Chains A and B, each alone.
Chain A
Amino acid sequence: MSADAPAPAAPARAPGAVLQSLLLAAVALFFLNLNVMGTASPSKRFSQDLVYAWFGDEAWLYPRPAAPGAGARDLQRRVVVVMLNEQALALRGARWPVPVQFHAQFLAELAVLKPRGIFLDFLLLDPAPAAETCELLQVAQRLRTERIPLYLAVTRAEDLALLESPGCQGPRGVPIRASEVFTPVAVLRQVDNSDFVSRRYPFEQRTAAQAPGSGVVSAAVRMYCEAGADAPACLTRLTDYESADAGFELAWSPAGDPFNQRWSHEPCAPRISPMRAVLNEPVLPRESPCPPVATLFADALLNPELDPALGLDNDTLFNITQGSFLMVGGNFRGSGDLITTPLHTLLPGIFYHAVALQNLLAFEGQPKVRKEFRAPKLLFYGFDLLVLWLLAAIFLWRQRLLQRSRPGYYSPFELSTAARAWIAPLIARWPTPVWIVVGTVLLLLMATFRWLQLIAVAALVVALVIVELRVTPLAERHERLRALTLYALAMLLSLGVIAVAFWVGYAWLRLPPGDWLGYLSFVAFGFFVAHAATLEFGRRIDELHLARSSGEGSQ
């Protein structure tokens, strides 16, 4: 704080300090959740993305089955993406868009793998010849007989009627109804308004007017619940959210599934170091060439020559697919079915459902849900307030320690009087307009060339430290060192509080990774600004209150 800053308030007594820290916390909470335009806070979402980019392959954060150390039980909970591509269609003499009869043939091939369930992520909305539709229904019935549930993507419940084929009969002459052999599931994609990233997976597709649980349940949710013991209870629990657009957060891993290394020419275990953020480099991967879910290309499945390592007797193929959830999606150039993942990369849409199912399996049906969808909402925001209150208390504790030894001294980063005196003649050489022009040019250059930012900041810090070391008296340097040590200590303590809050929120309250960037920004500098503002605010109120009291007394 500068010399002309408001006069320091007297050291607050215990109740006063508690109230002061509470006010600071409330101010921070308000600004961290400021959302006037209806777009999500970028710091909140970016905090989450960074956590997954740095630690998404750690089992403590995201215990997905493909994580290192996964046991045999985890392999039974596998999700496998089966990717239809142009080459696969060519192997059957077909081409895009995928004909219904190809789906029928391909599903019959998948039945050999004995999966736990199959999800067909294709919207079969266009009319097809009755014979082809019947062929699909017959294969679907065969799957049903073999206890392999078949989930079909729909845009609304009525879509299934398009697949009804009145003359279609099963082997015993019994008519086959589409509604009896397919389970319709919603494939609606959710994005955050601020950056169009698909971090959230909806529980169900319904309008605000419909009651919770009455919509079309999303693919991953239904598949997860129907694989368990008590499907109705599971569905009721997972769709019991008041908001129509409620969804769960997708934990995401930057590491690819080890199975994919067989076809991906990029390494499936990339390392994204947090140091990149310090070095002002991109902190998120540019693409995901090795996706986080085991992926089997349909052409390799149809033609053993393309992947002979799947086993002469298909042992590797059966190991990965038997008892797994097969998610069949398409990956055709220019088809447009792509999602922006929480790592800000693009992947075919089927991975949205596959990762969602993987999340439900990893967190055993207790996925992470944002506090705005939780009830009672006030309790979850109260948790945030509590964390910020602790951080504000640490900040005020540090300020009080500094005030004891040197009243009026708030920030360890302000220039000393001696340094100011040394710099003043340099600045005085040129008039203000020259400094404005120089400052503007420098800021323009730094805004244009990103590499200049790091160099400029480092050069400024080094220059100021040298000046301080040369001109400041020894006693003042010691005082500065003490203040810096206290600042570092308070930062460490605050980081500890943030880490504990993160863990409590994530593991116990089922909240997605918290806004640690927001917390950290308040700990590092936000509280300084907020504190100065609240002190000034308090001083003004005190003045007004005293003036009113004295006025009443004189009357």
Chain B
Amino acid sequence: MRQYLPLVLCCAAVVGARADEPPPPASPTQVCLSPNNHVLGPRSGDRPLPLLSGDPQHGFHSACSAPWSTLSPKNEALPVAECFQGSLLRLDHVSACGLPPGPLWVSSRWVITSAELSHATSRAATCQQLETGSWAGTRDLNLECIPQKKPAPKSDPAQPAPAAAAAPTPAPPHH
């Protein structure tokens, strides 16, 4: 036990020190996912809001642009159903793009949320740096592979096609 004593003391000191420190600021994702988060209104007046369809698993697609008055005709706050990467907010049952009501995504750049107002945020911009290293190497593509499945036996035509067949394949070039 004596040989582990320094390690135990060290851990206790670290825990003690952490207890004294102020809590770290909430990350954007945490702010975005705070309970009862609502979109209160547009951030930029009556400019149209770019809306996306899709989901994180299958990718996002540009749906349409619509003003806030179309999203919320009665200018009511809209609940945030989901949050992606702390900046993309999912609004359910929205019929802004001329489609049946469904989920649409909007960037937090264009709308104000209740979570944002309730959290004190820093006014400083994040430092950025340009990538100007010249490398004598080619950047490889990290493409996901699609497992090859054996074709279904011809004797059973009623069997559904394998899921891999539905995966997107590159279209031939259009000339």
Q: Check A424 for interface membership: any CB of B closer than 8 A.
A: no
Q: Let me know if B123 and A309 touch, CB within 8 A.
A: yes
Contact of A101 among B61, B107, B122, B134 (CB under 8 A): B61
Q: Let me know if A302 and B171 touch, CB within 8 A.
A: no
Q: Give 9 A-B pairs besides A265-B127, A297-B128 with Cβ atoms closer than 8 angstroms.
A: A85-B128, A92-B60, A93-B59, A105-B60, A108-B65, A135-B62, A303-B109, A304-B108, A348-B132
Q: Let me know if B52 and A105 touch, CB within 8 A.
A: yes
Minimum C-beta distance from B151 to chain A (A): 23
Q: Let me know if A308 and B121 touch, CB within 8 A.
A: yes
Q: Let me know if A289 and B139 touch, CB within 8 A.
A: no
Q: Let me know if B133 and A333 touch, CB within 8 A.
A: yes
Q: Let me know if A263 and B139 touch, CB within 8 A.
A: no
Query: Which residues of chain B are within 8 angstroms of A126 by Cβ–Cβ distance?
Result: 170
Q: Let me know if A162 and B174 touch, CB within 8 A.
A: yes
Q: Let me know if B139 and A333 touch, CB within 8 A.
A: yes
Among residues of B, the one whose C-beta sits closest to the C-beta of A125 is: B173
Q: Check B6 for interface membership: any CB of A closer than 8 A.
A: no
For window 255-294 of A, CB contacts with B under 8 Å fall at 262-265, 287-289, 291
Query: Which residues of chain B are within 8 angstroms of A165 by Cβ–Cβ distance?
Result: 174
Q: Let me know if B87 and A91 touch, CB within 8 A.
A: yes
Q: Let me know if B88 and A92 touch, CB within 8 A.
A: yes
Q: Let me know if B28 and A129 touch, CB within 8 A.
A: no
Q: Check A16 for interface membership: any CB of B closer than 8 A.
A: no
Q: Let me know if A135 and B61 touch, CB within 8 A.
A: yes
Please tell me which stretch of B14-22, B43-51, B68-76, B156-164 contacts chain A, meaning at least 4 of its Cβ atoms lie within 8 angstroms of it.
B43-51
Query: Which residues of chain B are within 8 angstroms of A96 by Cβ–Cβ distance?
Result: 139, 141
Among residues of A, the one whose C-beta sits closest to the C-beta of B87 is: A303
For window 330-355 of A, CB contacts with B under 8 Å fall at 331-336, 338, 345-348
CB-CB under 8 A for A93 and B60, given A108-B65, A109-B107, A111-B65? yes
Q: Check B4 for interface membership: any CB of A closer than 8 A.
A: no
Q: Let me know if A301 and B109 touch, CB within 8 A.
A: yes
Q: Let me know if B130 and A291 touch, CB within 8 A.
A: yes
Contact of A314 among B44, B123, B168 (CB under 8 A): B44
Minimum C-beta distance from A347 to chain B (A): 6
Q: Check B172 for interface membership: any CB of A closer than 8 A.
A: yes
Q: Let me know if A289 and B125 touch, CB within 8 A.
A: no
A358 and B62 CA atoms in complex are apart in Å by: 31
Contact of B171 among A127, A262, A308 (CB under 8 A): A127
Q: Check B79 for interface membership: any CB of A closer than 8 A.
A: no
Interface size on B, residues (CB 8 A): 55
CB-CB under 8 A for A300 and B126, given A112-B49, A142-B65, A305-B31? yes
Q: Check A447 for interface membership: any CB of B closer than 8 A.
A: no
A135 and B110 CA atoms in complex are apart in Å by: 21
Query: Which residues of chain B are within 8 angstroms of A310 by Cβ–Cβ distance?
Result: 125
Q: Let me know if B139 and A346 touch, CB within 8 A.
A: no
Q: Let me know if A104 and B62 touch, CB within 8 A.
A: yes
Q: Let me know if B87 and A112 touch, CB within 8 A.
A: no
Query: Which residues of chain A are within 8 angstroms of B172 by Cβ–Cβ distance?
Result: 127
Among residues of A, the one whose C-beta sits closest to the C-beta of B121 is: A308
Among residues of B, the one whose C-beta sits closest to the C-beta of A310 is: B125
Query: Which residues of chain B are within 8 angstroms of A162 by Cβ–Cβ distance?
Result: 173-175
Query: Which residues of chain A are within 8 angstroms of B134 by Cβ–Cβ distance?
Result: 336, 338, 346
Q: Check A318 for interface membership: any CB of B closer than 8 A.
A: yes
A513 and B87 CA atoms in complex are apart in Å by: 48
Minimum C-beta distance from B122 to chain A (A): 6
Q: Check A97 for interface membership: any CB of B closer than 8 A.
A: yes
Q: Check B129 for interface membership: any CB of A closer than 8 A.
A: yes
Q: Let me know if B85 and A93 touch, CB within 8 A.
A: yes
Minimum C-beta distance from A248 to chain B (A): 24
Q: Check A393 for interface membership: any CB of B closer than 8 A.
A: no
Among residues of B, the one whose C-beta sits closest to the C-beta of A330 is: B131
Query: Which residues of chain B are within 8 angstroms of A166 by Cβ–Cβ distance?
Result: 174
Q: Let me know if B139 and A305 touch, CB within 8 A.
A: no
Minimum C-beta distance from A354 to chain B (A): 13
Among residues of A, the one whose C-beta sits closest to the C-beta of B132 is: A346
A391 and B88 CA atoms in complex are apart in Å by: 67
Contact of B122 among A90, A308, A336 (CB under 8 A): A308
Query: Which residues of chain B are within 8 angstroms of A92 by Cβ–Cβ distance?
Result: 60, 85, 88
Among residues of A, the one whose C-beta sits closest to the C-beta of B49 is: A112
Query: Which residues of chain B are within 8 angstroms of A163 by Cβ–Cβ distance?
Result: 174
Q: Let me know if B44 and A138 touch, CB within 8 A.
A: no
Q: Check A230 for interface membership: any CB of B closer than 8 A.
A: no
Q: Check A500 for interface membership: any CB of B closer than 8 A.
A: no
Residue-wise interface mask of A (93-133) relative to B, using a CB-CB cutoff of 8 A (1 in contact, 0 not): 11111010100110111011010000000000011111001
For window 98-137 of B, CB contacts with A under 8 Å fall at 107-110, 112, 116, 121-135, 137
Among residues of A, the one whose C-beta sits closest to the C-beta of B44 is: A314
Ranked 8 nearest A-B pairs via Cβ: A334-B139, A303-B87, A307-B125, A305-B28, A108-B50, A263-B128, A346-B132, A262-B125
Minimum C-beta distance from A96 to chain B (A): 7
- Could you list 23 A-B pairs, sorted by A, with CB under 8 Å? A91-B87, A101-B60, A108-B65, A111-B48, A111-B65, A112-B44, A127-B173, A129-B169, A129-B170, A300-B128, A303-B85, A305-B28, A305-B121, A308-B124, A313-B43, A314-B109, A331-B130, A331-B131, A333-B133, A334-B135, A335-B139, A336-B138, A346-B134
Contact of B62 among A105, A161, A335, A347 (CB under 8 A): A105
Q: Check A74 for interface membership: any CB of B closer than 8 A.
A: no
A93 and B86 CA atoms in complex are apart in Å by: 12
Q: Let me know if B127 and A333 touch, CB within 8 A.
A: no
Minimum C-beta distance from A175 to chain B (A): 13
Minimum C-beta distance from A141 to chain B (A): 12
Q: Check B142 for interface membership: any CB of A closer than 8 A.
A: yes
Query: Which residues of chain B are within 8 angstroms of A70 by Cβ–Cβ distance?
Result: none
Q: Check B153 for interface membership: any CB of A closer than 8 A.
A: no
Q: Check A245 for interface membership: any CB of B closer than 8 A.
A: no
Most buried by A among B86, B116, B129: B129
Most buried by B among A112, A164, A301, A348: A112
Q: Let me know if B125 and A263 touch, CB within 8 A.
A: yes
For window 21-58 of B, CB contacts with A under 8 Å fall at 28, 31, 43-45, 47-50, 52, 56
